[in-house]
Amino acid sequence: MNTKPDLDLDIDSGNFSYPEDYAYDAGYGLSEEVVNYIADVKKDPQWVREFRLKALEVFRSKPNPTHWASKDLENIHYDNIRYYLAKDQTAKRTWEEVPEDVKRTFERLGIPEKERKFLAGVEAQFDSEAAYSNMKEALSDQGVIFVGSKEGLDKYPEIFRPWFGKVIPTADNKYAALNSAVFSGGSFIYVPKGVKVKHPLQAYFRINAENFGQFERTLIIADEGSEVTYMEGCTAPKFETATLHSAVVELVALKGAKMQYITVQNWSANVFNLVTKRALAMEEAEVKWIDCNIGSRLTMKYPGVILKGRKARGEVISIALANNGQHQDTGAKMIHAADETTSNIVSKSISIGKGRSSYRGLVHIPRHLKGCKTTRNATRCSSTPSRAPTPTRPSQCGVRRTPCSTRPV
């Protein structure tokens, strides 16, 4: 009797590419000249250029991580990566305006159909820049903003700048610093007070070129009492050489806001997926991450929530599949910084053949909180869907690392 789960997934749907034809190309390698080239072509204000150059210094000063996933990082050769490739710098508002090969790419992945049936808005990024960005008119009439990060920076600086780089500082880790130096693309969303977005907003990130690095930066702000769900999908073709994806995602949920961020990342097996994602939850706000990783050679991703306000709630549901030649190093972080805060972490992973999956988690509940006894975390992990979760004890006040093990199928 075969008791192994049915894992017949269509993980190769994104394995195709089109010939390269770019108007903007920063060339190979990482240097001050490359960073300045990106700042020039994007017409960055001076403070952004300075932000990039300082981040480059931070990236160079930080060593690679030294934990059990770090051996794979030696296969990233930064001088062989291209850090900026773009056909155009203006996102189109209709599919008819999108360049033909880019349009064929997203049509093949079903994006226009999904937009018509399920979504309130879509942004589609092709290599370094968004090729398409559109939102339903009814949301725009309510004051919702859903644009690329560049457009958010240029058109809405009074909203964008106060939160940019505040949830995830440049020096948070080596790859957050790399993103800060060469970031391009990503989404900027602002939901006004009391507005509840009933249907999801989605962004789709597509890598087409070989030896490429994609460095989108996303900032989502849900104002008081608002609600929003954001979904992202990612694919890339298979190449023999390494491809790098290093995103930064910052979420801000103000008082009473509810935010849900859903990720399905189906990168090809040559992609190094090194992502930093973190949310700030104010009083009575709620943030939920649903994180699914079924591709890439190496994923290092640990979505987190800083529970900044009283009665804030955070949750991470993490699912990882590691096939032959893959290492999924995933997990979550919960920082309880206020009284009566609650958090929940559920992590499940599957290892097939020589695939490796590992969990990395951190829950911090400071002892000085007045409502320490009413501050709670629950963390549950399991190595296969068929096994019952292996729960840790609820975290008491103080720092608690959450140990979970994963084993091959």
Residue 194 has pLDDT above 50, yes or no: yes
* Cα Rg of the chain, angstroms: 20
Phi, psi of 70 (to 5 degrees): -70, -25
Rounded-to-integer distance, Cα 5 and Cα 25, Å: 45
Using alpha carbons, select from 329, 335, 317 the residue that is nearest to residue 359: 329
pLDDT digits (tens, 9 = 90+) for 39-70: 999 999 999 999 999 999 999 999 888 766 66
Could you tell me which residues come within 8 angstroms of residue 27 by beta carbon, excluding any fewer than 6 positions away? 34, 37, 82
Mean pLDDT to the nearest integer, 374-401 = 58
Mean pLDDT to the nearest integer, 229-246 = 83
Domain boundaries, the chain: 24-301
Q: Which residue has the higher pLDDT, 102 or 271?
A: 271
Residue 354 has what pLDDT? Answer: 87
Whole-model pTM?
A: 0.87
Residue 114 has what pLDDT? Answer: 63
Window from 114-128, 222-236, 265-279, 305-319 with minimum mean pLDDT: 114-128
Structure tokens at 317: 């549901």
Residue 211 has pLDDT above 60, yes or no: yes
Chain centroid offset of residue 164 CA? 15
Q: What percent of the chain has pLDDT over 90?
A: 54
